Every structure is written in structure tokens, then in C-alpha cells.
Amino acid sequence: MTGRRGAILASAFAFSLFAGPAGTAGIRHVSEYDISLGILPIAKAAFASEFGSNDYRIAGSFRSWGLADIISKISAETSVTGRKRGDKLQAEQYDLVYKTGKRTRVYEVTYRNGDVTRSVMKPEPKRRPENWVPVAPEDLRSVLDPLTGLVFSGDVKSCPSRVPIYDGESRMDLILTPKGTETFSTEGFTGEVMVCEVRYVPRSGFRRGRSDIEHLKKTPMEIWFAKAQSVNVYAPVYARIPTSMGQVYVKAAKYGG
């Protein structure tokens, strides 16, 4: 998996974190993630979020690191603001600034009641290839942003069955299947986590037949979700993502605090 799709899919799980105790204004929560290709460190991510009584904001950064930074510098700044609807988070504005080398691309997505009402990409892409699957209007209904798509209520008994995501260019489904529990420990958390197998299903906004997409479709991922008792939510602390270059691992170096 290479390019923006690889970086975003590999770090989307790190982007999906929770905030501090709900019901208080401006409570700040910080988490940090290490990302590696096999044993080779390739990236780091850091996130801060704030929850008010009815709204929330998550902001994060991602950057290549180690040998990968020497080969190709990649970085991203991302944020989402939204409202709390019962026990769910619903985005209103999602933004991503993605840089690779000297190239920069900006994504801006506006949501209303779960539907995309505006989606802007700057600069606009050049003419799409013939094997490009365009995003249809129906693909932009009842979707989630990548930042909050994998945060779900702590009252559930197992993984959600399907997570529909639109990231500003591509529409995808993540199909989750329960795989039991494991024990996980990092700064700020030690305890039992929920393990889910995750299958990637591209819907639109991608090149049909692309090798990295085809590889990811055929090989399941795995995500571990830790429960935060103070806010009663599950969020990722670990992910294993298969790519044509090998296994990519996302691990929380700090979870809370």
C-alpha cells in the first residue's frame, strides 16, 4: 500500500480516539501512536481532543519517521468538529491537509445529520483514469468521518458490524467481526481489550484493479479496542494492517492522561 490511501488507511485507526470525560467543558485528552512496517518504525501520530456537554473537537497530526522519513516525507494535519447525539458522535466539519514531498492536498468535508453536504479537494484532481470508480450522491448518505468512525459506545457487547466512512475522496465500508479479547498495556492504560477482525470494502472514489486496494480487500485487518471507563466508549489502541510491502502496525504509546 503506497501513497495517500496507504498512509490514511494505516493511520485512520490512530485518528480514531476518544476525549476526556463528557459533560464538562473543554476537557482535554492526549494520545500518541507509533506506526511501523514490520519492525521498522515508519511514522508517529499525536492527537488531542476536547468534549463539551453537547459538542466535541478532535485534532491530530501524522508524520513519517525514521528511515521512511528519509525516503519520502509524509505528514498530515487533521481535525473534526461535531455534536453528540445520544451515545454517538456526529461530525459537522472534517478537514485534512496531506503533504507528501513538496505536494500538498487539502480535503474539506461538511456533514449534516450524517450526510455529506459539501466536499472539496484542493487542488482538484487531474482527469481521472478510465478505471476510476466515481463517488455517487447515494454514497454520501449516512457516513462517518475517519476520525470518529471507530469510536463507539462502551455499552455494546461486541464490535459494530459495519462502519461506513467517507474521507473526502473515497467511500469505503469497514466490516467488523468479533475475535475475542486480549490484554494490552501502555502508558495510561492496562487491561482487557476487544479484538475485531476488519475487512476493507471499497465502494467508490478509487481506481478499480489497483494492486494495493486488491491486496487489502483480500486480507483482513485486526483492531484492538480499549474501553475508557470515564467516558464509556471503546477506541483503538492497536491495529494490524496487511499491505503488499508487509504488515503495518499501529500501537498506542500513550492512551489518555
Rounded to an integer, what distance in angstroms lies between the CA atom of residue 48 and that of residue 68?
25
pLDDT band at 27 (very low <50, low <70, confident <90, very high): low
- % of the chain surpassing 90 pLDDT: 44
**E strand segments, the chain:** 27-37, 40-51, 55-64, 74-85, 88-100, 103-112, 115-122, 132-133, 152-153, 162-166, 171-186, 189-204, 206-207, 221-228, 233-243, 246-255
The predicted pLDDT at position 221 comes to 92
Which DSSP letter does residue 187 get?
Answer: B
Give residue-wise pLDDT tens across range 180-202.
Answer: 999 999 998 999 999 999 999 99
Average pLDDT, rounded, for the chain: 83
For position 180, what pLDDT does the model report? 95
**Quick one: three-class SS letters along 89-150?**
EEEEEEEEEEEECCEEEEEEEEEECCEEEEEEEECCCCCCCCCEECCCHHHHCCCECCCCCC
* Mean per-residue pLDDT, 75-90: 87
pLDDT in tens, 142-157: 999 988 888 787 788 8
Query: What band does 14 get if pLDDT is binned at 50, 70 and 90?
Result: very low
Q: What is the pLDDT of residues 228-252, one digit of tens each?
A: 766 667 888 999 998 878 889 999 9
Q: Return d(Cα 142, Cα 20) in angstroms, integer.
A: 26
DSSP state of 22: T
Name which of 198, 194, 204 is nearest 216 in CA terms: 198
- For residue 161, pLDDT beyond 70: yes
The set of residues, in sequence order, having a beta carbon less than 8 Å from that of 69 and lying 6+ positions away, is 63
Give me the number of domains the chain comprises. 1
Cell of 170: 473515497
Highest mean pLDDT among 154-163, 171-180, 221-230, 231-240: 171-180
Q: Taking 50 as the threshold, does the pLDDT of residue 69 lie above it?
A: yes
pLDDT the model gives residue 29 = 66
Q: For position 140, what pLDDT does the model report?
A: 97
Whether the per-residue pLDDT at 85 is higher than 50: the answer is yes
Average pLDDT of the segment spanning 205-215: 89
pLDDT tops 70 at residue 6: no
pLDDT at 67: 59
pLDDT value at 160 more than 50: yes
More confident residue, 98 or 73: 98
Going by pLDDT thresholds of 50, 70 and 90, the confidence category of residue 93 is: very high
CATH number at residue 126: 2.40.360
Q: Which domain holds residue 250?
A: 3-255
pLDDT digit string (tens) for 103-116? 999 999 999 999 99
